[in-house]
Structure 1
Amino acid sequence: MVATLLHEIPLQGGDVTDGVVRVGDTVRRPASTSTPAVHALLRHLEARGFAGAPRVVGMDGLGREILTYLPGTTGLRLESVSDEALAGLAVLLREFHDATVGFPLSPEGWEGGSNDDKAPEIIGHCDLTPENVIFRGGGPHALIDFDLARPTTRLFDIVTTLRHWAPIADPVDRSPLLRNLDVGERLRLFCDAYGVPPRDRRRLLELARLRFHRSYDVMRTRASAGGNWAKMWAGGAGERIRRAAAWLDAHEDELHARLV
């Protein structure tokens, strides 16, 4: 009887997971094969005192995971594309990476996806789109939607983040708020705020190119199975990846000069 009285508010913004709703001070999400691993990670982050992620409450009677609701805003806004916001995101990502140290790096149990060739160092979020960062008080406050998290390198997760926030993309595919920004300067600013060492800065663009190639293959394979991946592919995701890779090739020298 109590369950029928709960008011569910659909939450929009993500590309992959349907059926995410808010119920009071909680979020209910459909469970997946990676849910046990994600819950273990979130509990580890809580134990480490990392405040920038939701807490695990449990599972509901419909088999959905229950997480704490984090108030704030998501998506691209004037406040979220500033230099201060980008530097704040770099610091938040560094704190997250540092908090995952000590968590098992076994590849089993995660959703999987494209990755670095180097041995995993941390658990990466691997999907820090503007829709997956909570802003509060004008700055980035928390990370949400850990469905694509997995063992990886710090640099790979940095690259996946900069893909959306620098952004490493053809201008035709960028939000108007990001279209005329100095990408090279934003790459440098993010790396400075995170504390990316020189050896990784020299490899960043190379890894970005590798990620484009592998992400294209992963998305095409997932799209063949249908669902939201197929919708994303039909909506031009593959073409956007190809254009981003071509833009990176054309501007690599100037971007590299800013980084190193």
Structure 2
Amino acid sequence: MFATLLHEIPLQGGDVTDGVVRVGDTVRRPVSPATPAVHALLRHLEAAGFEGAPRVLGVDGLGREVLSFLPGVSGLSAASAGEEALAGVAGLLREFHDATAGFPLSGHRWEGGSNDDAPPQIIGHCDLRPDNVIFRDQVPVGMIDFDLARPTTRLFDVVTTLRHWAPIADPVDRHPLLRGVEVGERLRVFCDVYGVPPRDRRRLLELARLRFHRSYEVMRTRADGGGNWARMWADGAGERIRRASAWLDSHEDELYAHLI
């Protein structure tokens, strides 16, 4: 049990969980019904030698989970928006997926969310947006915020990651640093580094479209419950998903040509 310390630095960037703070070399986060599953996963990753995830350190006097702090910076910058960083994220995701091998795909309670129709293969992060990737010296070295982790397929987690990093989005909704990028080329770079096989590349855009549809429905349902989901919905999350889906429909042929 960790004592409560007074000097707390609020950490920003997450959409789902409020009240995340840094205390020294630790991060304190409110617990949720999925916390036991996430802690089991993080302990498995530690035992597997995966260095790119926080370590579970316990619970503090306020009942918050205590995780190790991963030093570095997150979010998009001129460096992290480039293809070298994109390739690094692909390699990090592949290393993470491989490290989850052997972790039980049933028997834990996860947050849930949209998913693939195929049987799960690994535990996916399912929210590897730029805010959740830690960079050091312009190299992606870690991932944080496992709130939405759950059993899924490798391809679904690849698609979820590419939604933010390619990005598969209408240009009007992209970060300014990614507004003019060649999305098809970035899809190919990511898939090459990760090692996405040809059969999955042929299905990637179809699965992206399915994810858009299901994510829209999931977010709309969760928004009815209030909280941060309602805030994100009110901020236009549903409209952004719809625009991304329409953009994908309009550019599918050229994107597919890069993938195959």
RMSD of aligned residue pairs (Cα, Å): 1.0
Amino acid aligned to 1:40: A
Count of equivalent residues: 259
Q: Is the 8 A contact 2:121 2:151 kept in 1?
A: yes
Q: SS of the residue aligned with 2:65?
A: strand
CA shift for structure 1 position 108: 3.8
Structure 2 residue aligned with 1:211: 211
Structure 2 residue aligned with 1:115: 115
Structure 2 residue aligned with 1:41: 41
What stretches of structure 1 move > 4 A for 4+ residues in a row?
2-5
Change (3 A) 1:189 1:5: closer
Structure 2 residue aligned with 1:132: 132
Q: Which runs of 5+ in 1 are unaligned?
A: none
Structure 1 residue aligned with 2:19: 19
Q: SS of the residue aligned with 2:29?
A: strand
Instruction: Give the Cα separation in 2 of the matches to 1:233 and 1:106.
Output: 30
| TM-score of the superposed pair, with normalisation by structure 2 | 0.98
Instruction: Give the Cα separation in 1 of the matches to 2:38 and 2:96.
Output: 14
Q: Deviations over 1:31-58 (max 9, x none)?
A: 0000000000000000000000000001
| TM-score of the superposed pair, with normalisation by structure 1 | 0.98
Change (3 A) 1:256 1:4: closer
Instruction: Give the Cα separation in 1 of the matches to 2:46 and 2:168.
Output: 32
Structure 2 residue aligned with 1:195: 195
Match status 1:246 vs 2:242:
no
Q: Is the 8 A contact 2:11 2:20 kept in 1?
A: yes
Amino acid aligned to 1:192: D
CA shift for structure 1 position 137: 1.1
Q: Is the 8 A contact 2:111 2:147 kept in 1?
A: yes
The correspondence of residues 97-112 of structure 1 with structure 2, limited to 5 A, is 97-106=97-106, 108-112=108-112
CA shift for structure 1 position 4: 6.1
CA shift for structure 1 position 5: 4.8
Instruction: Give the Cα separation in 1 of the matches to 2:81 and 2:150.
Output: 26
Change (3 A) 1:99 1:171: same
Q: SS of the residue aligned with 1:248?
A: helix
Structure 2 residue aligned with 1:60: 60
The correspondence of residues 227-246 of structure 1 with structure 2, limited to 5 A, is 227-246=227-246
Instruction: Give the Cα separation in 1 of the matches to 2:139 and 2:240.
Output: 28
Instruction: Give the Cα separation in 2 of the matches to 1:3 and 1:96.
Output: 32
Q: Which runs of 5+ in 2 are unaligned?
A: none
Identity %: 80
Amino acid aligned to 2:122: I
Instruction: Give the Cα separation in 2 of the matches to 1:225 and 1:16.
Output: 13
Q: Deviations over 1:64-120 (max 9, x none)?
A: 000000111011101111110000100000000000010000164100000000000
Instruction: Give the Cα separation in 1 of the matches to 2:91 and 2:256.
Output: 22
Q: SS of the residue aligned with 1:252?
A: helix
